[in-house]
């Protein structure tokens, strides 16, 4: 299978350790979201995957063999710092790039027409890139990453600067490529998009992978929480829940009439039902919601745990209760 | 496959440079200037050659001087036309006449001491010719009076000159003759061609850095392939310009016949110029391309191209001042073996005929051997510098081992 493996990659800039033994893989047909705060090492990792930078140690493999120059020709890459020849026509430029990736001139011409039409810049093929608006330049940049029908997609912030229509087109393109068996990795700060699109997510901090898994896996915590809205005084609910072993409760932040109950690690999952029963004994329960951290919460937890000894510990979440 | 990629990069360079409106316009303007310049030059050159002869009126009383005047004028290289006048002709009117009919001087009176009437100031050349003619006439008269043979006397007098013999070989050409002109034009062309193409390469490298397009290019091809394609493409474009403009110049010269007085083998000189352009281009293109990668903005280009400009101007001026004065001195012979000097010195030494075959061969070999070394240095500096953004990168950092 065509899996992209990043294997124990380290990279330092002088004394700054940009990547520290980074290891993960992107499987065929999978959309992988690469998340982390600014300066966490996402761009460095992607540049190393593309051979634009050399790693100090470790390797990047595709299909089990080193991702060398020849293999990289079949990778679609969108760098963080966008770049096209400003004084070259959109069509000619894309044909040139497709040619560098090994397409014949006729194949290249067809692909350029197809992708510029699909990305909504078909009418600008004859214009110089510098004449286009930034958003349209961004679309051309995407076309440059997609035009040679890549077997692997590595996209650094592909959604930044796109309008909602272009975001939809781009999302559809990524799903379609993944469905065709292509490993897709992209970085983004738009976590709602990542949550919606990605099969798996990796959160990177200080050059290390601190959380890795499917969205569901990541949202599962060892300290389950429930939000309760009971038709009674919260103090009564709190007193009643204090009786349940392994459960602590307090008034939910931002909702003075609601209560947030948290189970200690190791408590059996049935404790949730017990919490519900105890609450019903106090008054009518209008709302009973298991609170699971969303990606943004996970992300904040990871980032705020900057000096934690245990990097995978995800701080309990309570801010977003809407779900 | 890799040569294919290099060619694709080269083709893009040629296409984007050749097909821009500004390039086409400036090429057309230069073509017109060159061709027009040659025709203007030819007009002035031929006008001088066909300057009307100086006319001198000779009155009947001094007609005995005519023969001597003709000999004297021929000796001086003076184009003198003698106009016979009657003794009673109006000399003043003839001197002040309008246009080509005006006489420069009118001779009359005693042939041994004629009166020379001029409008204002006497023309030096005519006065000298007249003096010589009169002296010759008087000597003839005296020799005849003494019973001698004037012809034999003149012959003896003509051969009474010192026989000058120079220790220098006789075929050493004139310092500022056609060889000098042709070789100076050649190295000036070489200088401008190298500066022009070097600057284009430096700007192209920095343009790719500023626009950041270099990152997607380098995700697909090697830095060396990118640099090689750029140098090849701009080199072809430069050669096209040289051939087009040089060809227009040669064609114009041939059409006007301006070269009839030049005793220089233009064809061989041009072939040598092209050879040294190629070698010089390879050397300097690598330096310009590699070093330009050290900076990130167009405004900073000067800091890397200025030292390279010096590397072009110093050999150019040294060649101009040292070689014509002594094309065979030890200093010149040594310098002309050094790669940056060779492209300038060798064509000039050749034009002065002071070049032995083995010297040309040796300098070619040295230059060609230097190119792989420069390729290595340029590729190293380029690879390290091309993805470096922000300030100017130090050359030392770029040369250190490993890629950043």
The 10s digit of each residue's pLDDT in B19-46 is 778 888 888 898 888 888 878 877 777 7
Chosen for mutation from A55, A68, A69, A126 (greatest number of chain B CBs closer than 10 Å) is: A69
B165 by Cβ neighbours in 10 Å (0-12 / 13-18 / 19+) ranks as: exposed
Residues of chain A found within 8 Å of residue B200, distances taken between Cβ atoms = none
Give A-chain residues touching B5 at CB under 8 angstroms.
100
* Closest Cα in chain B, distance from residue A75 (Å): 8
Contact (CB<8Å) B213/A83: yes
Considering chain A, what percentage of its residues have pLDDT values greater than 90?
Answer: 27
- Any chain B CB within 8 A of the CB of A73? yes
Contact A100 B5 (CB under 8 A): yes
- Closest chain A C-alpha to B43 CA, distance in angstroms: 44
Q: Is the confidence at residue A307, as pLDDT, over 70?
A: no
Mean pLDDT of A241-266: 85
pLDDT at A310: 42
Tens-place pLDDT, residues B222-271 = 888 888 899 999 888 888 887 787 778 777 777 776 665 555 566 677 77
Do the Cβ atoms of A72 and B220 come within 8 Å?
yes
Portions of chain B given CATH number 3.40.190 = 54-156
Token code pair at residue B351 = 């034009």
Grade residue A68 by pLDDT with cuts at 50, 70 and 90: confident
pLDDT digits (tens, 9 = 90+) for A208-235: 888 888 888 887 777 788 888 888 888 8
pLDDT at A116 over 90: yes
What is the C-alpha to C-alpha distance for residues A305 and A298, in angstroms, rounded to an integer? 10
- Set of chain B residues whose Cβ sits within 8 Å of the Cβ of A86: 211
Contact B215 A79 (CB under 8 A): yes
Average pLDDT over residues B390-403: 65
Residues of B in contact with A100 (CB under 8 A): 5, 8-9, 217, 220-221
Three-class SS of residue A159? coil
B3 contact residues in A (CB cutoff 8 A): none
Measure CB to CB from residue A96 to each of B12, B20, B403 and give the nearest one: B12
Residues 6+ apart with CB under 8 A from A225: A260, A261, A262, A263, A290, A291, A316, A317, A318
Q: Calculate mean pLDDT across residues A263-270.
A: 81
CATH number for the domain running over A222-291: 3.30.70.100
- pLDDT of A175 strictly over 70: yes
Domain parsing of chain A, residue ranges: 4-216, 222-291
Q: How far is CA A15 from CA A11, A18, A39, B284, in A?
A: 10, 9, 15, 36
Q: Bridge partners of A205?
A: A208
Q: Which fold has domain B54-156?
A: D-Maltodextrin-Binding Protein; domain 2 (3.40.190)
pLDDT at A316 over 50: no
**Percent above pLDDT 70 for chain A:** 94
Q: How many whole angstroms separate alpha carbon A102 and alpha carbon A120?
A: 25
For the domain made up of A4-216, the CATH class stated in words is alpha beta
| Cβ contacts of B208 on chain A, cutoff 8 Å | 85
3-class DSSP state of A228: strand
pTM of the model: 0.72
Evaluate if residue A315 carries a pLDDT over 60.
no
**Three-state helix/strand/coil letters over chain B:** CHHHHHHHHHHHHHHHHHCCHHHHHHHHHHHHHHHHHHHHHHHHHHHHHCCCCEEEEEEHHHHHHHHHHHHHHHHHCCCEEEEEECCCCCHHHHHHCCHHHCCCEEEECCCCCCEEECCCCCCHHHHHHHHHHHHHHHHHHHHHHCCCCHHHHHHHHHHCCCCCCCCCCCCCCCCCCHHHHHHHHHHHHHHHHHHHHHHHHHHHHHHHHHCCHHHHHHCCCCHHHHHHHHHHHHHHHHHHHHHHHHHHHHHHHHHHCHHHHCCCCHHHHHHHHHHHHHHHHHHHHHHHHHHHCCCCCHHHHHHHHHHHHHHHHHHHHHHHHHCCCCCCCHHHHHHCCCCCCHHHHHHHHHHCCCCCHHHHHHHHHHHHHHHHHHHHHHHHHHHHHHCCCCCCCCHHHHHCCCCC
Chain A CB within 8 Å of residue B135 CB: no
Question: Does position A168 have pLDDT exceeding 50, yes or no?
Answer: yes
Confidence of residue A321 (pLDDT cuts 50, 70, 90): very low
In whole angstroms, what is the distance from residue B343 CA to residue B277 CA? 7
Question: For the stretch B34-46, what's the b/e string if a residue is b when 16 or more beta carbons lie within 10 angstroms of its beta carbon?
Answer: bbeebeeebeeee
Q: Is the pLDDT of residue B170 over 70?
A: no
Tokens of B73: 């004028």
Q: Which neighbouring-strand residues pair with A76?
A: A153
Q: Per-residue pLDDT averaged across A268-295, rounded? A: 85
Residue pair A91/A116 in contact by the 8 Å Cβ criterion: yes
The residues, any chain, with a CB within 8 Å of residue A3's CB and separated by 6 or more, are A25, A26, A27, A28, A62, A63, A64, A183
Higher pLDDT, B55 or A99: A99
Q: Do B212 and A83 touch (CB under 8 A)?
A: yes
Q: Which of B 183-212 lie inside 8 A of A, CB atoms?
A: 207-208, 211-212
Mean pLDDT along residues A172-181: 92
Q: Sort out which chain B residues have CB atoms less than 8 A from A88's CB and list them.
A: 12, 16
Report the residue from B213, B219, B220 with minimal CB separation from A85. B213
**Using CB atoms, which residue from A54, A86, A100 is nearest to B403?**
A54
Provide ipTM, 2 decimals: 0.75
Q: Which of B55, B53, B56 is nearest to B107 (CA)?
A: B56
Closest by CA to A140, choosing from A107, A165, A116, is A116
Return the pLDDT at A311. Answer: 40
Neighbours of A202 (CB within 10 A): 26
């Amino acid at each position: 299978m065509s899996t992209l493996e990043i294997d124990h990659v380290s990279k330092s800039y002088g004394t700054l350790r940009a990547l520290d033994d980074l290891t993960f893989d992107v499987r065929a047909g999978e959309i992988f979201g690469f998340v982390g705060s600014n300066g966490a090492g996402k761009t460095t990792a992607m540049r190393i995957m593309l051979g634009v930078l050399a790693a100090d140690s470790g390797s990047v493999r595709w299909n089990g063999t080193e991702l060398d120059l020849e293999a990289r020709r079949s990778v679609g890459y969108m760098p963080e710092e966008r770049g096209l020849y400003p004084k070259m026509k959109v069509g000619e430029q894309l044909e040139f790039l497709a040619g560098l990736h090994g397409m014949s001139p006729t194949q290249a011409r067809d692909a350029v027409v197809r992708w510029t039409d699909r990305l909504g810049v078909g009418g600008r093929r004859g214009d110089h890139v510098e004449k286009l608006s930034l958003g349209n330049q961004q679309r051309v940049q995407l076309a440059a990453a997609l035009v040679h029908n890549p077997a692997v997609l590595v996209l650094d912030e592909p959604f930044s600067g796109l309008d909602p229509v272009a975001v939809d087109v781009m999302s559809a393109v990524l799903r379609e490529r993944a469905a065709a068996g292509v490993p897709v990795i992209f970085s983004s700060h738009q976590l709602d998009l990542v949550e919606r699109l990605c099969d798996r997510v990796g959160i990177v901090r200080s050059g290390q992978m601190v959380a890795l898994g499917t969205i569901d896996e990541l949202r599962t915590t060892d300290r389950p929480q429930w939000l309760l809205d009971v038709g009674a005084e919260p103090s009564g609910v709190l007193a009643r829940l204090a009786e349940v072993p392994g459960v602590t409760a307090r008034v939910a932040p931002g909702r003075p009439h609601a209560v947030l109950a948290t189970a200690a690690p190791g408590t059996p999952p049935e404790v949730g039902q017990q919490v519900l029963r105890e609450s019903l004994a106090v008054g009518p329960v209008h709302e009973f919601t298991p609170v699971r951290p969303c990606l943004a919460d996970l992300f904040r937890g990871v980032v705020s745990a900057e000096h934690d000894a245990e990097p995978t510990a995800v701080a309990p979440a309570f801010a977003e209760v809407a779900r | 496959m890799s040569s294919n990629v290099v060619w694709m990069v080269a083709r893009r360079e040629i296409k984007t440079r050749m097909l821009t409106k500004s390039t086409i316009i400036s090429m057309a303007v230069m073509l017109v200037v060159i061709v027009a310049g040659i025709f203007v030059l030819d007009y002035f050159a031929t006008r001088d050659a066909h300057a009307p002869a100086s006319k001198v009126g000779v009155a009947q009383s001094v007609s005995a001087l005519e023969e001597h005047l003709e000999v004297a004028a021929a000796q001086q290289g003076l184009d003198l036309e003698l106009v016979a006048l009657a003794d009673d002709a109006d000399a003043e009117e003839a001197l002040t006449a309008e246009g080509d009919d005006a006489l420069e001087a009118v001779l009359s009176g005693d042939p041994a001491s004629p009166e020379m009437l001029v409008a204002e100031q006497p023309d030096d050349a005519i006065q000298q010719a007249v003096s010589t003619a009169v002296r010759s006439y008087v000597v003839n008269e005296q020799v005849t009076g003494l019973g001698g043979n004037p012809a034999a006397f003149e012959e003896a007098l003509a051969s009474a000159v010192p026989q000058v013999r120079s220790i220098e070989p006789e075929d050493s050409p004139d310092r500022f003759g056609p060889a000098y002109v042709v070789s100076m034009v050649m190295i000036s062309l070489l200088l401008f061609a190298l500066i022009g193409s070097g600057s284009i390469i430096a700007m192209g490298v920095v343009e790719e850095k500023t626009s950041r397009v270099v990152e997607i290019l380098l995700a697909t091809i090697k830095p060396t392939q990118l640099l090689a394609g750029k140098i090849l493409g701009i080199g072809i474009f430069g050669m096209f310009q040289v051939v087009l403009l040089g060809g227009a110049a040669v064609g114009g010269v041939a059409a006007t016949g301006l070269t009839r007085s030049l005793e220089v083998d233009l064809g061989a000189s041009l072939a040598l110029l092209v050879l040294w352009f190629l070698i010089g281009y390879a050397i300097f293109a690598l330096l310009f391309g590699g070093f330009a990668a050290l900076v990130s903005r167009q405004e900073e280009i000067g800091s890397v191209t200025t030292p390279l400009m010096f590397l072009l101007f110093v050999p150019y001026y040294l060649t101009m001042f040292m070689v014509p004065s002594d094309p065979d001195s030890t200093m010149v012979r040594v310098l002309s073996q050094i790669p940056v000097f060779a492209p300038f010195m060798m064509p000039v030494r050749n034009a002065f005929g002071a070049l032995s075959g083995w010297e040309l061969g040796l300098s070619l070999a040295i230059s060609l051997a230097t190119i792989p070394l420069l390729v290595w240095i340029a590729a190293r500096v380029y690879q390290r510098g091309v993805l470096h953004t922000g300030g100017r990168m130090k050359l030392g950092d770029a040369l250190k081992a490993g890629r950043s």
